[in-house]
């Protein structure tokens, strides 16, 4: 049974990250902490009562392919209807197209609860939101008027079509082509791994498709983006003629069974009608708008599934009777939450979830500041910091999601390895998060290449300076020990950043060989900074909830003593481990 961790989310949102910084900014004039709390309360109720109950039935039933189209699990279809009826699809969408225009920080907090409730269900709204953002930024007024109102309302859903069998992460190999045909194009090709590429939730599906216009340059410079709807809208905007696009198969997957992952075929007949988005040959640039939104959405998936796994593991440990805790020689066997190793696993889960939640929400705040900051220079600084943090959040939070969901199985012992307890589903579902929207390796290469080496580390060093200044202010009080260990981590990350810059000067292979360890190091250290600040907040006099504050301090102290020391080993790998990779020959 999922219970939304509202105390944890509110603490992170209001106290640690500080959404008050958004109040009154241009475009957020109606935002308030009271509004945020009301949204969180309603989202928690919806997650617990509507989405969570369909998670297991959806996993067991799975999506079904038929010649007439994909059928979603019936429980998912009913939950989606309630989702739209409640207006949740409008939360993050632009106000000018019928949305509420809520800040990314708030939607990140809300989407955590939806994801914990059911990742497979949440993926459809996530992809639609990304498609809305891409069309809003890059589409013509006519395309916006035709597609956005219905997508914002949730009456139509959206997808992102990049991958082909020969073109996974290397999109320069895309072969899908677009042939000019009057005022539109005809699209021919096949895309794979398309999340919610077909379903029976809605009357229309809007595909954003990367394709190459006939005669375009080779490689990524010749890729354009097209809107290809399942049904072509008529003059009134209603779905009319069936377009030449079909789901020819759905994948059999390790997890997220309720979410159809489709093989999409374009142009088996006259060609699928497609509408060019923006300018020709700039499709990858436009698609990255959608991908950035999706990457932040996937980052939160990592710790959201870990939260669900933690809740189940903690409940199991409270009730599972096995043996006596060390040191007790008499009495009946006790519950396993008294055993030191089980406590270690549960504390690892709790503290790391808090760190990943804080990192991801802080990243979301930077994107909001960049969008709603009146001062262009301040907006640029926030955007640079958000860009720096997105690959760290996506890579580190999802890798930890896998680790922590595995720990959840471990807490259950042998009962975790069987499906009846439910612990295995979280491990199966979270596994995809380190792969889609760019693998951890791709996130790490983006981090060390585009975000650190390209500007000689300026964005990272500016972040480290801010971290050091805040932590130095905490070393004289109740949080001194936690802050001191976090400062040691800052020093290690600064030294590692210098090593990354040096590796870049030696060549791309040397840089990429240490990219993933550097990403993990950055995540651990930034998480340590966030939890040191959390400890200080929870140590203030006059705590309204003394039990919550004591638990928060305990988690932060555990992280400082047990997770932060891993930074030392990672720092050594970044400094000296690359050569052993570059010089190796793998047969």
Residue 286 lies in a domain: no
Check whether residue 67 and residue 162 sit in a common domain.
Answer: no
Question: Which pLDDT score, from 0 to 100, does residue 587 have?
Answer: 83
Determine contact, residues 214/180, Cβ cutoff 8 Å.
Answer: yes
Residue 390 lies in a domain: no
Task: State residue 332's pLDDT score.
Answer: 74
Residue 487 lies in a domain: yes
pLDDT in tens, the chain (587 residues): 899 999 999 999 999 999 999 999 999 999 999 999 999 999 999 999 999 999 999 999 999 999 999 999 999 999 999 999 999 999 999 899 999 999 999 999 999 999 999 999 999 999 999 999 999 999 999 999 999 999 999 999 999 999 999 988 888 889 999 999 999 999 999 999 999 999 999 999 999 999 999 999 999 999 999 999 999 999 999 999 999 999 999 999 999 999 999 999 999 999 999 999 999 999 988 888 778 778 999 999 999 999 999 999 999 999 999 988 877 666 778 899 999 999 999 999 999 999 999 999 999 999 999 999 999 999 999 999 999 999 999 999 999 999 999 999 999 999 999 999 999 999 999 999 999 999 999 999 999 999 999 999 999 999 999 999 999 999 888 899 999 999 999 999 999 999 999 999 999 999 999 999 999 999 999 999 999 999 999 999 999 999 999 999 999 999 999 999 999 999 999 999 999 999 998 88
Reading phi first (left if > 0) and then psi (alpha if -120 to 50, else beta), residue 503 is in: alpha
371 in any annotated domain = no
Specify whether 525 is located in the same domain as 573.
Answer: yes
Told to judge if 437 belongs to the known catalytic residues of this protein, a careful annotator would answer yes
**Whole-angstrom distance, CA of residue 138 vs CA of residue 282:** 10
3-state helix, strand, coil in the chain (%, to 5): 60, 10, 25
Angstrom distance (rounded) from CA 538 to CA 540: 6
Domain boundary (258, 281, 304) is at 281
pLDDT value of position 242: 97
Residues 67 and 130 placed together within one structural domain of the fold: yes
* Same domain membership, residue 206 and residue 84: no
Would you say residue 304 lies in a domain?
no
Q: Does residue 130 share a domain with residue 31?
A: yes
- Structurally, the chain folds into a number of domains equal to 3
Say how far apart CA 503 and CA 508 lie, in whole Å.
8
Q: What is the CATH number of the domain that holds 247?
A: 2.40.110.20
128's CB contacts (< 8 A; 6+ apart) are 89, 151, 154, 156, 157, 158
**Residue 329: per-residue pLDDT:** 66
486, HSE (Cβ side, Cα atoms, 13 Å):
33
Tell me whether residue 464 is in a domain: yes
Tell me: do 134 and 195 sit in the same domain. Answer: no
147 found inside a domain: yes
| Residue 518 domain flag | yes
Of 112, 301, 307, 437, catalytic? 437
Residues 570 and 505 in one domain: yes
Q: Which two tokens stand for residue 385?
A: 């910091």
The CA-atom distances, in angstroms, between 329 and each of 6, 12, 321, 324, 334 are: 40, 42, 16, 8, 12
- Are residues 68 and 197 located together in one domain of the fold? no
> At which of 102, 134, 151 does a domain end?
151
- For residue 539, CA distances in Å to 12, 211, 528, 531 come to 15, 55, 16, 12
Question: Which of 102, 135, 151 marks a domain boundary?
Answer: 151
Both 453 and 584 in one domain: the answer is yes
Range of the domain at 59: 6-151
């Amino acid at each position: 049974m999922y219970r939304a961790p509202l105390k944890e989310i509110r603490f992170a949102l209001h106290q640690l990250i500080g959404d008050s910084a958004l109040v009154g900014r241009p475009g957020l004039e109606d935002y308030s902490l009271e509004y945020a709390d009301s949204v969180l309360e309603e989202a928690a109720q919806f997650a617990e009562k509507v989405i969570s109950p369909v998670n297991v039935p959806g996993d067991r039933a799975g999506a079904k392919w038929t010649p007439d189209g994909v059928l979603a699990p019936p429980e998912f279809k009913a939950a989606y209807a309630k989702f739209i009826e409640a207006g949740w699809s409008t939360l993050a969408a632009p106000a000018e197209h019928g949305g509420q225009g809520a800040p990314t920080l708030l939607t990140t907090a809300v989407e955590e609860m939806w994801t914990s409730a059911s990742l497979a269900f949440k993926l459809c709204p996530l992809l639609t939101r990304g498609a809305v953002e891409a069309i809003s930024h890059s589409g013509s007024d006519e395309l916006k008027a035709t597609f956005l109102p219905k997508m914002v309302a949730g009456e139509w859903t959206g997808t992102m079509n990049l991958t082909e069998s020969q073109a996974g992460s290397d999109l320069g190999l895309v072969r899908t082509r677009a042939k000019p045909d009057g005022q539109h194009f005809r699209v021919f090709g096949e895309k794979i791994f398309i999340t919610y590429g077909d379903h029976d939730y809605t009357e229309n599906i809007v595909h954003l498709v990367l394709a190459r216009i006939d005669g375009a340059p080779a490689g990524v410079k010749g890729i354009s983006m097209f809107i290809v709807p399942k049904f072509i809208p008529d003059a009134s905007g209603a779905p009319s003629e069936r377009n030449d696009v079909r789901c020819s198969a759905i994948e059999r997957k390790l997890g997220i069974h309720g979410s159809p992952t489709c093989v999409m075929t374009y142009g088996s007949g006259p060609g699928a009608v497609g509408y060019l988005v923006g300018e020709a040959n700039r499709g990858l640039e436009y698609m990255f708008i959608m991908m950035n939104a999706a990457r932040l959405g996937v980052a939160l998936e990592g710790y959201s599934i870990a939260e669900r796994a933690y809740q189940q593991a903690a409940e199991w440990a409270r009730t599972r009777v096995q043996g006596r805790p060390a040191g007790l020689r008499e009495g009946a066997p006790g519950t396993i939450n008294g055993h030191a190793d089980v406590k270690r696993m549960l504390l690892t889960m709790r503290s790391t979830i808090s760190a990943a939640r804080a990192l991801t929400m802080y990243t979301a705040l930077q994107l909001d500041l960049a969008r709603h900051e009146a001062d262009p220079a301040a907006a640029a600084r926030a955007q640079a910091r958000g860009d720096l943090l997105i690959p760290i959040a996506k890579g580190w939070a999802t890798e930890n999601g896998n680790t922590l969901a595995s720990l959840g199985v471990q807490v259950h012992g042998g009962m975790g390895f069987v499906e009846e307890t439910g612990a295995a589903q979280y491990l199966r579902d979270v596994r995809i998060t380190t792969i889609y929207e760019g693998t951890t390796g791709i996130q790490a290469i983006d981090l060390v290449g585009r975000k650190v080496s390209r500007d000689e580390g300026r964005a990272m060093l500016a972040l480290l300076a801010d971290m050091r200044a805040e932590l130095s202010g905490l070393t004289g009080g109740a949080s001194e020990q936690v802050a001191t260990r976090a400062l040691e981590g800052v020093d290690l990350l600064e030294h590692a950043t210098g090593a990354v810059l040096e590796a870049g000067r030696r060549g791309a292979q040397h840089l990429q060989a240490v990219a993933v360890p550097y990403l993990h190091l950055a995540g651990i250290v930034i998480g340590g900074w966030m939890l040191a600040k959390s400890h200080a907040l929870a140590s203030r006099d006059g705590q309204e909830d003394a039990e919550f504050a004591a638990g928060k301090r305990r988690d932060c102290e555990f992280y400082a003593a047990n997770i932060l020391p891993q930074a030392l080993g990672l720092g050594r790998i970044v400094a000296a481990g690359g050569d052993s990779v570059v010089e190796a020959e793998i047969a």
